[in-house]
Structure formats: structure tokens, C-alpha cells
């Protein structure tokens, strides 16, 4: 007899089955849901890993996360990442400056000129012209 690696609650099993049937989830969430359902059906970690094309360690991690966090294990845990240096208000000021009249002697704003003016006006301590370009690219 095969060992059950995960014992899903009835409500969790039904939720996972409807989630898999809908087919509108991210591939990562879909794969984790399938893995948990297969483990609940009695498959081994190795056989689930082989059928899903992931490592045995990944499947064991899903199993352990389900035991600790329940269905929250389907989503990735938040990651710290790099802190935001230019917030929304600063981005708005940069965009507004780019939409304003160009300084005297210039037909339009150049990215380097705009980056210099942003620092001069004190919107931020320092900013590169490429970062200014990326900020403006994300506006319509």
C-alpha cells in the first residue's frame, strides 16, 4: 500500500479540483494544485515529480508548505526585492516636467537634460537618463 503524502481536507480537494477544471490559473499554481491532488490520491513524490516535469524537492516543498500554510501554498510567498527609490509622486512630477515647455535654447526635452533638471529641482537625489526614459515609457 502506498503512503499518502498529503491528506487534503474535503473542502480543499473540491477547491483544487474546480481550480484545475477552470484552467484560468497561472501555470505555476496549476502545477502545484495538480501535484497536491496527485499526492492526495496516493502517488509518491517521485512519480508526481516525473509526471509534472519538476524536481522531487519541489514536490516535497509543496507538500510541506500545504501542511504548514494550507491552500496559501499555491501562491508564491512575497519577496522582499529591492526597495523602491522613485515613488509614484516623484514619477508624476517627472512626467509633468517632461510634458512642460522645454527650456530656452532647446526645441524639446532630451532625457539627459530632463534627468539633470529633476535632480536640480530636488525631486530625487540622483537619477539616470535611462531611468527617466523608463519612467516616461510607462506613461501613455
**What is the average pLDDT value for the chain, to the nearest integer?**
91
Q: How many domains does the chain have?
A: 2
**CB within 8 A of 112, min separation 6: which ones?**
129
pLDDT at 2 (0 to 100): 52
Q: Is residue 32 part of a domain?
A: yes
Q: Copy the grid coordinates of residue 103.
A: 527650456
Is 26 found in the same domain as 70?
yes
Calpha distance 85→43 (Å, rounded): 47
pTM for the model = 0.59
Is 112 found in the same domain as 68?
no
pLDDT at 139 (0 to 100): 78
Q: Is residue 114 part of a domain?
A: yes
Q: Is residue 79 part of a domain?
A: no
The range of the structural domain enclosing residue 92 comes to: 88-137
Q: Is residue 108 part of a domain?
A: yes
Which DSSP string do the residues of 53-106 spell out, in sequence order?
TS-HHHHHHHHHHHHHHGGGGGSPPP---PPPSS-HHHHHHHHHHHHSPPPTT-
pLDDT at 78 (0 to 100): 82
From residue 119, alpha-carbon distances to 19, 49, 110 in Å are: 49, 53, 14
Is 98 found in the same domain as 53?
no
pLDDT at 62 (0 to 100): 94
Q: Is residue 99 part of a domain?
A: yes
Q: Is residue 81 part of a domain?
A: no
Is 64 found in the same domain as 21?
yes
Which candidate, 90, 76, 87, places its Cα nearest to that of 26? 76
Is 26 found in the same domain as 51?
yes
Amino acid at each position: 500500500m502506498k503512503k499518502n503524502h498529503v491528506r487534503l481536507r474535503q473542502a480543499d480537494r473540491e477547491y483544487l479540483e474546480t481550480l484545475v477544471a477552470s484552467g484560468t490559473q497561472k501555470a505555476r499554481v496549476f502545477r502545484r494544485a495538480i501535484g497536491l491532488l496527485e499526492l492526495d490520491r496516493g502517488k509518491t513524490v517521485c512519480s508526481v515529480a516525473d509526471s509534472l516535469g519538476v524536481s522531487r524537492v519541489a514536490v516535497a516543498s509543496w507538500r510541506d508548505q500545504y501542511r504548514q500554510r494550507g491552500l496559501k501554498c499555491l501562491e508564491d510567498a512575497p519577496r522582499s526585492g529591492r526597495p523602491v527609490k522613485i515613488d509614484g509622486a516623484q514619477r508624476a512630477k517627472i512626467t509633468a516636467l517632461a510634458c512642460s515647455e522645454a527650456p530656452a535654447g532647446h526645441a524639446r526635452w532630451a532625457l539627459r537634460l530632463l534627468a539633470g533638471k529633476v535632480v536640480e529641482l530636488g525631486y530625487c537625489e540622483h537619477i539616470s537618463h535611462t531611468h527617466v526614459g523608463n519612467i516616461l515609457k510607462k506613461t501613455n
